[in-house]
Copies of this chain bind each other. A is one copy, B any other.
Amino acid sequence: MYVTAPLPEHAAPETTPAKPSISRHRTMTLMPGTHLFLEGDPADRIYEVASGVLRLTRIMEDGRRQVIAFGYPGDTVGFPSDGLYHTDCDALVPSTLVVHRRDHLESAKGDPVLHQRLLKAALREISGMQDHFMMLGRKSSVEKLASFLRVLTTRVGEPLGDFDQVTLPMTRADIADFLGLTTETVSRTFTQLRKSRIIAIDHVNTVIILKPIALRAIAEGDDG
């Protein structure tokens, strides 16, 4: 779900409307501001993002927030534990999802292919989360932002002339809560990368990677 994951073999699936199908999945649309589920909800369903971007968050009583992951096309969200969801989930942009009934996926009787895919998705998720740990626990603010931009570029970047460009559907506050920073620090760090000509910024939420090598060096702490 977080973004180190390799590209999914299954791109956007087609809706198979009324026709009875062995794998009984449907699709649905989720609009920004709408929650797919909340922490503590019974987890009946598991979702694959077909298009759009989701946001998975945890919130503490006093309001502190941690963005656990952004769900991009190909990602799976809604992994249950003890039958419950453990994050909130909503959409950053209008998103379409493939809905799977949990009991079909988890039980040994369900479709073994789907079952297999769920396991793969879970393992990818674990791997991605492990990267995120290093970032949260041990990296400086520039390193965090550089890593973030790199992962996003790899995953959803688009070529623009000689450069790669990436659109950020999330706010600075979302990025801050993902990286364990404040919005002010995220903003200052963007400025820092911009002033050193490593990135350029269009329209606040469009970033052009001018020096990918330098960005990687920073992300991995290879510099001073």
Name A residues whose Cβ lies closer than 8 Å to a Cβ of B: 6, 58, 60-62, 64-66, 68, 79-82, 86-87, 106, 108, 112-113, 115-116, 118-119, 122-127, 129-130, 132-134, 136-139, 177, 179-180, 220-222
* Nearest 4 interchain pairs by C-beta: A137-B180, A81-B127, A108-B112, A136-B136
Whether the pair A138, B79 counts as a contact (CB closer than 8 A) is no
Whether the pair B138, A64 counts as a contact (CB closer than 8 A) is yes
Closest chain B residue to A105, Cβ basis: B119
Whether the pair B138, A221 counts as a contact (CB closer than 8 A) is no
List residues of chain B with CB within 8 A of the CB of A136: 133, 136-137, 180
List residues of chain B with CB within 8 A of the CB of A130: 58, 68, 86-87, 129
A64 to B134, CA, bound (A): 9
Whether the pair A66, B129 counts as a contact (CB closer than 8 A) is no
The one of B68, B82, B108, B134 in contact with A115, judged by C-beta atoms closer than 8 angstroms, is B108
Number of copies of chain A assembled together: 2
- With A79-B123, A126-B126 known, 9 other A-B pairs at CB within 8 A are A6-B82, A60-B221, A64-B139, A65-B138, A68-B133, A79-B126, A108-B116, A126-B129, A129-B133
Pairs across A and B, CB under 8 Å, 5 listed: A60-B138, A66-B133, A122-B122, A122-B123, A136-B137
Whether the pair A64, B122 counts as a contact (CB closer than 8 A) is no
The one of B113, B127, B180, B222 in contact with A86, judged by C-beta atoms closer than 8 angstroms, is B127
Closest chain B residue to A118, Cβ basis: B119
A112 to B107, CA, bound (A): 9
What is the minimal beta-carbon distance from A137 to any residue of chain B, in angstroms? 3
A60 to B222, CA, bound (A): 10
List residues of chain B with CB within 8 A of the CB of A118: 119
List residues of chain B with CB within 8 A of the CB of A62: 221
Whether the pair A106, B86 counts as a contact (CB closer than 8 A) is no
Closest chain B residue to A87, Cβ basis: B130
List residues of chain B with CB within 8 A of the CB of A81: 123-124, 126-127
List residues of chain B with CB within 8 A of the CB of A221: 60-62, 64
